[in-house]
Amino acid sequence: MTVSGSWQAAARGAGLLGTDGRIAATIFAEMSALAASTGAINLGQGFPDEDGPSEVLDTAIGAIRAGVNQYPPGLGLPDLRAAIAEHQARFYGLTVDPEREVLVTAGATEAIAASLLALLEPGDEVVTFEPFYDAYGGLIGLAGGVHRTVPLHLPDFRPDPEELRRAVTDRTRVILVNNPHNPTGTVLPRETLELVVELAHRHDAVIVTDEVYEHLTFGPRHVPIASLPGARARTVTISSGGKTFNTTGWKVGWLTAPAELVTAILAVKQFLTYVNGAPFQPAMAVGLRLGDDFFTGIARDLRHKRDVLSEGLRAAGFTVSPSDGTYFVVADAAPLGYSDAVEFCQALPGLAGVVAVPLSAFCRDAYAASTASLVRFAFCKRVDVLEQAAARLAGLRPQPSGSTR
């Protein structure tokens, strides 16, 4: 099938089409297909292999049975909006008006898409850190924006403040921040977040912040950018139930922002999906109101899983970066003699029966070159699965230097 030339050009620029004009599968879909066809343990695409809290699941089942199956209101069910506002107050001391400052979306992805489409004029610049979640590049391109990136530097994936200062200019319309950060597992320091706020003020930019891993941190508690002085009035805060409640397939997300931004974003969102997930919305409300034990429990369990996998990777010979949040850890395959993570990840199912994702999938060419041997592993799997993966990886033989296979 052929598609229109202008769409093709835009889609190619956004990395959605290969140079041959065929639709490019995301790295996650590609690697999950590889895991399925080889029977390897899938530590590539980030999705949990266990169900979330039964209260949440039972509420969705009950809602379907109770007939909550038609279009919910455009902003989202009032009770979910109330639960989101309560959550922001309870965890972060943020006061948001559930009637005007909350919008329920089809996952965080739609919240990001609708925000960018609402905010950007063609040619406006969007600054993100690099590596960046793959959808950012595609969505900025689809919205006609120009993507500028600020590298996160090894060993702990921190940005250089000067590089951040240089990237944000009067051409910047949006600073799109992901914290805690996929794929690196870094939790950005408060100084970085404060600098983002300072630069947004100086250059009159909007901060769009993707905080889907807000409850999955293993050190200091998560600090939403909107909670910093001066940030709220220009910040769109995005999250999603997928990570917190192990329901990635439900695609219920949300954003909180000043009312005029919510109105602008809703104007776009109503023509993207209009609404979604009616019976899942009350379930998310129940989840957001679960006790503190639940939230500390998921972070504690995941921290243990991080430790199991990180230890296994170290024992297998990888150099392992710290992961303070998300459910991802970055490991360097270079000490094992593998200099090209793309080839390494293609070969890994055969070498060790494990699937992972090359970090270059989250990078542009120039940055990817400096991180060519880095691999992202997901640890949102049962402990016995991670132990089995670690045992398999322990059998990896170091390659003679120069060889990639």
The pair of three-digit structure tokens given for residue 88, joined into one six-digit string: 């922001």
Say if residues 225 and 206 touch (Cβ distance below 8 Å): no
Residue 240 contact, options ligand GLN, ligand PMP, none, Cβ 5-8 Å cut-off depending on partner type: ligand PMP
Question: Which residues, numbered 194-253, are part of the site for ligand PMP (CB under 6 A)?
Answer: 210, 212, 240, 242, 248, 251, 253
Rounded to an integer, what distance in angstroms lies between the CA atom of residue 73 and that of residue 278? 9
Residue 246 CA to residue 137 CA, distance in Å, equals 25
Q: Please, which residues have CB within 8 angstroms of residue 366's CB and are 6 or more apart in sequence?
A: none
| Residue 28 binding partner per list ligand GLN, ligand PMP, none, with a CB distance cut-off of 5 to 8 Å that depends on partner kind | ligand GLN
Rounded CA gap, 184 and 133, in Å? 10
Least distance from ligand PMP to the Cβ atom of residue 300, Å: 21
176 forms part of the interface with ligand PMP (CB under 6 A): no
Would you call 389 helix, strand, or coil by DSSP?
helix
* Site stretch for ligand PMP (CB under 6 A), options 62-70, 106-114, 290-298, 332-340: 106-114
Given candidates 115, 182, 209, 247, which one binds ligand GLN under the rule CB under 6 A?
182
Dist. CA 199–CA 195, nearest whole Å: 6
Q: Considering the rule CB under 6 A, would residue 178 count as an interface residue with ligand GLN?
A: no
Residue whose CB is less far from ligand GLN, 136 or 295: 136
| Amino acid letter, 190 | R
Is 28 a binding residue for ligand GLN by CB under 6 A? The answer is: yes
Nearer to ligand PMP, 178 or 373 (CB): 178
User: CA separation (Å) from 157 to 160, 246, 299, 366?
Assistant: 10, 26, 21, 16
Does an H or E element contain 209, and which?
Answer: strand 206-210
- Which of ligand GLN, ligand PMP, none has residue 310 at its interface (CB below 5 to 8 Å by kind)? none
What is the DSSP-derived secondary structure letter of residue 20?
Answer: T
Residue 107 touches which of ligand GLN, ligand PMP, none (CB < 5 to 8 A by kind)? ligand PMP
Task: Point out which residues bind ligand GLN (CB under 6 A).
Answer: 26, 28, 45-46, 182
List residues near ligand PMP by CB under 6 A: 107-109, 133, 178, 182, 210, 212, 240, 242, 248, 251, 253
